[in-house]
Amino acid sequence: MVKKRCGVILACVFLMAVSSHASAERFLGEFCWQVFNQENEPYWKYKFGIYEKEGGYFALFGTVDYENTLSAAHGNAVLADGSIKLTIVSSDREEGIEFWTDTFAAKLEPSTLSGTWNAIELVKRDNENEVFGVHQQGSINLITCP
C-alpha cells in the first residue's frame, strides 16, 4: 500500500512538472520563407508553425515545398550575435526516384527575418549504390503564407 501511494505521488509530481514545463512555450504563428539560389532564382518554400520556448529558443515544425512536392521539415532558431541563427532539417523518400536529406543553416536579420543560407544535401538515387552530396547557398526572404 505504501509503495502504491509513493508511486501515485511520484506520478503526480512528474505530471505537474511536465505540465508546467509544457506551458513554458508560446505559439507565435505561421511563418513562410522563399529560398533563392545564388542567381536569385526561387528554389523552394518553407512553412512553419513557430513556438517560442523558455530561454529565448524557438522551435519550428512544418513543411518544405520543392517543385510542388511537400516534405516534412523541422528546426530551431536562436538569437545570437545580433542575428537569428536558424537550422532546418528535412528529408523525403520520392518513390521510384530517390531518397534525400537536407541540413540548412541560415543567418537572418531580426528586423526583416530575411538573410543568407547554406545547405548540405545528401541524395541516394534508386537503383544506384552511391550517395552524393551537394553544397548550395543563396538568400532567404520572409513572405506572406498562402
Cell numbers given for 119 = 545547405
Contact present, 130 and 122 (Cβ < 8 Å): no
Q: Over pLDDT 70: what percentage of the chain?
A: 84
Q: Over pLDDT 90: what percentage of the chain?
A: 79
Task: For CA atoms 74, 78, 79, 84, give the dihedral sign.
Answer: negative
With 0-12 CB in 10 A as exposed, 13-18 as middle and 19+ as buried, what is 73? buried
C-alpha 79/C-alpha 144 separation (Å) is 22
Q: Which domains does the chain have, with CATH numbers?
A: 25-143 (2.40.128.30)
What pLDDT shows up at residue 9? 41
**Threshold 0.75, pTM exceeds:** yes
What pLDDT shows up at residue 52? 97
Look at residues 101, 41, 97 and name the one whose alpha carbon lies nearest to residue 73.
101
What pLDDT shows up at residue 22? 53
pLDDT in tens, 40-83: 999 999 999 999 999 889 999 999 999 889 999 999 999 999 99
Contact present, 87 and 78 (Cβ < 8 Å): no
Residue 131 has pLDDT above 90, yes or no: yes
